[in-house]
Structure 1
């Protein structure tokens, strides 16, 4: 097994399981406080890791506006939405709805970065969003537009937009040649600070749940979901390029739904299978350049389950 395959599998399996891990963060501790704990710890550990490797820690002054925007959108608002939606839906459905992020990235890239939108990409995005709606259709029909499913879908879609806005800030920082890892670390810390401020303004108490479920899920989300997966993905991105590394996002919802089926009792129907297939297929169409093929060992490794 090649090292690229290991990195690919690590990113997919970790990010596919973090949605379920969030379930154990919901309870005694306010979600905003849990998010603040998570990204404070993750940001500090990432800075320590960079210091041990003797890499630069402080980005240039011009980079801080984009770092602040990344913190606000990527590590504050988007995660507040993700945690809120996970309290209403099974983690697998939240993950699949989160796959619509790729569509919003394409649209925001057109609006904020001036990148053209190709018809194939627009078609793929439309198919993907339609697949997400099919997955939610049975529960929305049963509960009505005022039910938990419709509200959860609306919240995660809003979170997708916030995450996409954060991605635009990252793209601008990368265009300005801002080092990615220190910018990510400070973005996490900025997001943690803003989320803590949000919790304070809402009157939330900064409590801590010492139960094994809460502590272990916090450590897992921090060490693996916020650090190991990002480092694996960034390394893969540097080796095989953004287009190929982007296929991680296609497989994550499938892993999340499998975990949801095993541990949350998610019930599959023909409609949900069709919806998942369209969501995944739409993302494939969005991210695959015409005539592009996965190379060598990586192709062999990911063909059975995709991406």
Structure 2
């Protein structure tokens, strides 16, 4: 997985990105259920974050060592990994877990599908990445589809009109900004020169360390670790992090932060399909139409003539 692979030609999604895109969306579509199991267990969310990324960091270190991939970083690289890990694997997830105390995971998922917007804006500001008309049109179509898909959750928040709903959405937006800064930073020339597995492993180590330190101060050692909680945490650490984040940041470096963030559009659709299978979710006509619009917008945006 080279960090210096040539960028994709304009208007083309390279075939080497298609399989990682599918894997990431399928797995991340299932992580919402695992996170819900963690939250319902009543364990301090800082422990959930710390354990998840401790497992993920250990797996990436082992994977990199087994394949003899470079894991050491220059001094400046460690500084970047700490900043990146704090943003992506600590602060981002702290605010996601906090948001889900006040609004449903469906609302959080929908807002995270809008990661394409700050990624495109910040990519334009810091990376001088252009945003084409097709990408904008596709994003608008996908946004309309997601609004239809989550019409019930959005309506519930609107009817509630309470400070709790506003707080949940506010926390989600803060998480979105931290995730976007971490995403876009991967496109910087100096960062692209760093070993990607090394950046991820040390970044996850930093994020996990901060989370565990806060957890120890807040609640001491965790208790009541049920098999369901441990299984969910293991799944989130290995499949939901150690496997998917290297693939996702590979995509970031290949097709840019805006188009890579389109995994967030497909993820809620996958999550709803899994909810149908596992939880008996019943599809309404607006949800069906919304899913089709979201996926259609994804196709249009990913085929944009100008890189995004």
TM-score, L = length of structure 1 = 0.78
Aligned residue in 2 for 1:113? 127
Counting only pairs closer than 5 Å after superposition, residues 74-153 of structure 1 correspond to structure 2 as 74-129=88-143, 131-133=145-147, 135=150, 136-148=153-165, 150-153=166-169
Displacement after TM superposition at 1:6 (Å): 6.2
| Count of matched residue pairs | 287
With 95-104 and 17-26 compared, the bigger mean Cα shift is at 95-104
Counting only pairs closer than 5 Å after superposition, residues 206-221 of structure 1 correspond to structure 2 as 206-221=221-236
Displacement after TM superposition at 1:73 (Å): 1.0
Aligned residue in 2 for 1:54? 68
Cα separation, 1, equivalents of 2:112 and 2:157: 17
Say whether the 8 Å CA contact 2:135–2:301 is kept in structure 1.
yes
Aligned residue in 2 for 1:164? 180
Say whether the 8 Å CA contact 1:33–1:196 is kept in structure 2.
yes
Say whether the 8 Å CA contact 2:115–2:264 is kept in structure 1.
no
Say whether the 8 Å CA contact 1:90–1:260 is kept in structure 2.
no
Aligned residue in 1 for 2:200? 184
Say whether the 8 Å CA contact 1:75–1:187 is kept in structure 2.
yes
Say whether the 8 Å CA contact 2:118–2:177 is kept in structure 1.
yes
Say whether the 8 Å CA contact 2:20–2:247 is kept in structure 1.
yes
Cα separation, 2, equivalents of 1:67 and 1:3: 26
Q: Secondary structure at the match of 1:56?
A: coil
Q: Secondary structure at the match of 2:188?
A: helix
**Structure 1 unaligned regions, length at least 5:** 293-307
Cα separation, 1, equivalents of 2:20 and 2:199: 22
Q: Secondary structure at the match of 2:204?
A: helix
**Partner of residue 31 from structure 1, selected from 45, 49, 53:** 45
Say whether the 8 Å CA contact 1:25–1:218 is kept in structure 2.
yes
Cα deviation digits, residues 66-100 of structure 1 (max 9, x gap):
21221111101111122223344443443232111
Say whether the 8 Å CA contact 2:132–2:305 is kept in structure 1.
no
Cα separation, 1, equivalents of 2:223 and 2:16: 38
Displacement after TM superposition at 1:7 (Å): 5.0
**Structure 2 unaligned regions, length at least 5:** 1-14
With 154-163 and 187-196 compared, the bigger mean Cα shift is at 154-163
Displacement after TM superposition at 1:28 (Å): 3.0
Cα deviation digits, residues 32-66 of structure 1 (max 9, x gap):
11101111121122112111222222112222232
Cα distance change of structure 1 residues 81 and 210 upon mapping to structure 2, 3 Å threshold:
same
Cα separation, 1, equivalents of 2:278 and 2:169: 21
With 86-95 and 138-147 compared, the bigger mean Cα shift is at 86-95
Displacement after TM superposition at 1:140 (Å): 2.1
Cα deviation digits, residues 157-187 of structure 1 (max 9, x gap):
2211110011122222665411111110100
Q: Secondary structure at the match of 2:187?
A: helix
1:257 is the counterpart of 2:263: no
Cα separation, 2, equivalents of 1:274 and 1:143: 25
**Partner of residue 194 from structure 1, selected from 198, 202, 210:** 210
Cα distance change of structure 1 residues 127 and 8 upon mapping to structure 2, 3 Å threshold:
closer
Cα separation, 2, equivalents of 1:6 and 1:115: 24
